[in-house]
């Protein structure tokens, strides 16, 4: 990063390392990481999820954390909570020579969210649903 000391503002900034995911933290003591994506059509290209993100989420899960994607389908105004196991299934399918994307109609209807007050993402409810499905 370069800073113009006379005017005290940033003149150049860039990432010098590959980032992991958009959020890493804890929810009620449970380690959580997720990445937010947007898709304007019914087919989500897996190239929008990077291999280093998949590896990071896999390691996070192995250490007892919860990893997921939040995907906003802007053309449908629908928001989806994609569990790590689901993104991994689509990722592995692509690595084995299958589709390099997944379709909207392949998703589990139970994991579509409704925005609260037209702007709040209720992902905490879906983390609980994700945890409950692991038992």
pLDDT at site 115: 73
pLDDT digits (tens, 9 = 90+) for 4-62: 566 655 555 444 456 689 999 999 899 999 999 999 999 999 999 999 999 999 999 99
Contacts of 73 (CB under 8 A, 6+ apart): 39, 40, 42, 79, 80, 104
pLDDT at 126 over 70: yes
pLDDT digits (tens, 9 = 90+) for 67-91: 999 999 999 989 999 999 999 999 9
Contact 68, 130 (CB under 8 A): yes
Domains with residue ranges and CATH for the chain: 18-134 (3.40.1350.10)
Angle at CA of residue 26, ends 58 and 38, nearest 5°: 60
């Amino acid at each position: 990063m370069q800073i113009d000391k006379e005017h005290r503002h940033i003149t150049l900034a860039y990432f010098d390392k590959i980032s992991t995911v958009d959020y890493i933290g804890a929810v009620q003591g449970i380690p959580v990481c997720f990445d937010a994506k947007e898709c304007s059509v019914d087919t989500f290209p897996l190239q929008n999820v990077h291999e280093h993100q998949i590896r990071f989420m896999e390691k996070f899960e192995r250490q007892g954390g919860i990893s997921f994607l939040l995907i906003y389908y802007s053309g449908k105004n629908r928001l989806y909570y994609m569990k790590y196991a689901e993104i991994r299934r689509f990722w592995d399918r692509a690595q084995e020579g299958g589709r390099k994307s997944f379709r909207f109609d392949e998703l589990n209807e139970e994991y579509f969210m409704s925005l609260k007050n037209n702007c709040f993402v209720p992902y905490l409810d879906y983390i609980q649903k994700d945890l409950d499905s692991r038992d």
